[in-house]
Amino acid sequence: MGMGMTEKILACASGAGEVKPGDIAVVEVATAVLMDMTFLPESWRQILKVHDPSRVVIVFDHLVPAPTIQAATAQDTGRAFAARFGVERLHDVGPGQGICHAVVAECGYALPGTVLVNGDSHTCAAGAFNCAARGVGGPDMLHAVTTGKTWFRVGETVRYDLTGQLQPGVSAKDIFLTIAGKWGAHVNQNVEYGGPGLAALSINARRTLATMGTELSSEFNVFEPDDLLISYMKERNPDAAIHPTMPDADAVYADRRAIDLARIEPLVALPDAVVNQSVGISEVAGRRIDQAFIGSCANGTLDDLAVAARVVRGRKVAKGTRFIVTPGTQSTYLAALKAGYIEALLDAGAVVTPATCGACWGGHMGTLGPNETCITASTRNFKGRMGDPSAKIYMASPATVAASALAGCIASAAEFFQGDVA
């Protein structure tokens, strides 16, 4: 029986010749990522040994810059931990800092054909790099850091074969909203992406789609490797051994589905859930918003900031609407500044924050108040996600969010891409 990419990666990492759905795979962890939240006083447990400091990465992202004494204490604990065990890959507040999944992407930490774990639920973002990446709980992170191993139950896989290319103004977020709306949750399933249409998706687009796999309740989300990916990884991590993993020709899937990217249309997820909630923009156009947000590990890329700047350049954010933009990393922020995107956003009336998870999870820098309405290009829209439980959160692409910020209500961005050729 042939294996899909996730099965082959887990088999290799476990030393087994083959794994199949239902098996328990005990695997070598190539990369373990710790966040500032890991070191919060109420949850931190003293670690007495680290299996291999070179496999550990520490990134401060959720509580950056530190908004509370508690957050500052957590970061101090993280710095002390890195110094004690010789963890060199510490991304502290400063030039190399950012949202952990974006930092992993920028630095080439998620090596193709390997296993990566992190305490954050959106760890599957690294699947864009042909890496079996998954968020795990505190005890499993502790086990991975101290022993270099973890375990997974092998699930069935759903395969998506991509063809064609996206129309102008349509993004990877719209691909996700299509999948979530048409096929719903993928509980206990792996998701595999491939096909000729993959070549038309940038690395940043793949990252967005991989990140949103968490919202499908899937286990692993793994993309086929191609020349673009291999070049990207070698540029960022030239000394690393890269072992791209393709599915077997006779791989067995729970289902195999085709998506013509040219037929994808801009969509919006209604408040309180993303699964089975996708609608066309025309169904919700005109609904007033208090806040528009672009950022997070899903949509804080340079591509996303470029689209937002294109939409708002020379225009103004609607009176009474807050438009908050958060680059995924400080490096992305700098690149956007040099490209003129930040200037265009600020001129329009946006607030551009440092790289942080802040507004996405309702922690700081954009928390919603009672009965407010937000349209977001981030990761989640469930009740209470970004602040008060009475707030309503719509989810859409960066283009739609930027157009809505200008209108002060949910609006289509189609006019800003007229004349473009796919």
Same domain, 235 and 279: no
Residue 422 lies in a domain: no
Distance CA 18, CA 119 (A): 27
Boundary of a domain, candidates 208, 234, 261:
261
Q: How far is CA 209 from CA 160, 176, 393, in A?
A: 12, 6, 20
Boundary of a domain, candidates 261, 286, 315:
261
Would the pLDDT of 421 be above 80? no
What pLDDT is attached to residue 420?
A: 87
Residue 51 lies in a domain: yes
Residue 315 lies in a domain: yes
What pLDDT, in 10s, does the model give residues 281-331? 999 999 999 999 999 999 999 999 999 999 999 999 999 999 999 999 999
* DSSP per position, 376-420: EESS---TTTTB-TT-EEEE--HHHHHHHHHHTB----GGGGTT-
Residue 50 lies in a domain: yes
Return the DSSP state at 327: -
Same domain, 239 and 224: yes
Distance CA 89, CA 80 (A): 13
What pLDDT, in 10s, does the model give residues 350-370? 999 999 999 999 999 999 999
Average of per-residue pLDDT across 195-209: 98
Residue 285 lies in a domain: yes
Same domain, 306 and 327: yes
Average of per-residue pLDDT across 390-394: 98
Would the pLDDT of 422 be above 80? no
Please count the structural domains in the chain: 2
Please, which pLDDT band fits residue 130 given cuts at 50, 70 and 90? very high
What pLDDT, in 10s, does the model give residues 154-192? 999 999 999 999 999 999 999 999 999 999 999 999 999
What pLDDT is attached to residue 277?
A: 97
Distance CA 407, CA 348 (A): 12
User: Mean pLDDT in the chain?
Assistant: 97
Is the distance from CB of 33 to CB of 48 less than 8 angstroms?
A: no
What pLDDT is attached to residue 202?
A: 98
What pLDDT, in 10s, does the model give residues 238-263? 988 889 999 999 999 999 999 999 99
Average of per-residue pLDDT across 106-132: 97
Same domain, 322 and 363: yes
Average of per-residue pLDDT across 107-120: 97
Of 46-50, 76-80, 386-390, the range with the lowest mean pLDDT is 46-50
Query: Rg of the chain's alpha carbons, rounded to an integer?
Result: 20
Would the pLDDT of 344 be above 90? yes
Residue 163 lies in a domain: yes
Please, which pLDDT band fits residue 68 given cuts at 50, 70 and 90? very high
Same domain, 243 and 364: no
Print the domain residue range for 294.
268-417
Please, which pLDDT band fits residue 1 given cuts at 50, 70 and 90? confident
What pLDDT is attached to residue 228?
A: 97
Whether the model pTM is above 0.95: yes
Residue 255 lies in a domain: yes
Same domain, 229 and 315: no
Would the pLDDT of 43 be above 90? no
Same domain, 321 and 253: no
Boundary of a domain, candidates 245, 261, 277:
261
Same domain, 122 and 232: yes
What pLDDT is attached to residue 45?
A: 85
What interhelical angle do 302-312 and 330-339 show, nearest 10?
40
Same domain, 284 and 257: no
Q: CATH code at 354? A: 3.30.499.10
Residues near 62 by beta carbon (within 8 Å), at least 6 away in sequence: 35, 36, 37, 356, 357, 358, 361, 363
Average of per-residue pLDDT across 68-90: 97
Same domain, 42 and 157: yes
Same domain, 85 and 230: yes
Task: Identify the three-state secondary structure at position 222.
Answer: strand
Same domain, 247 and 319: no
Residue 33 lies in a domain: yes
The candidate with the shortest Cα–Cα distance to 299, out of 131, 99, 104, 132, is 99
What pLDDT is attached to residue 121?
A: 96
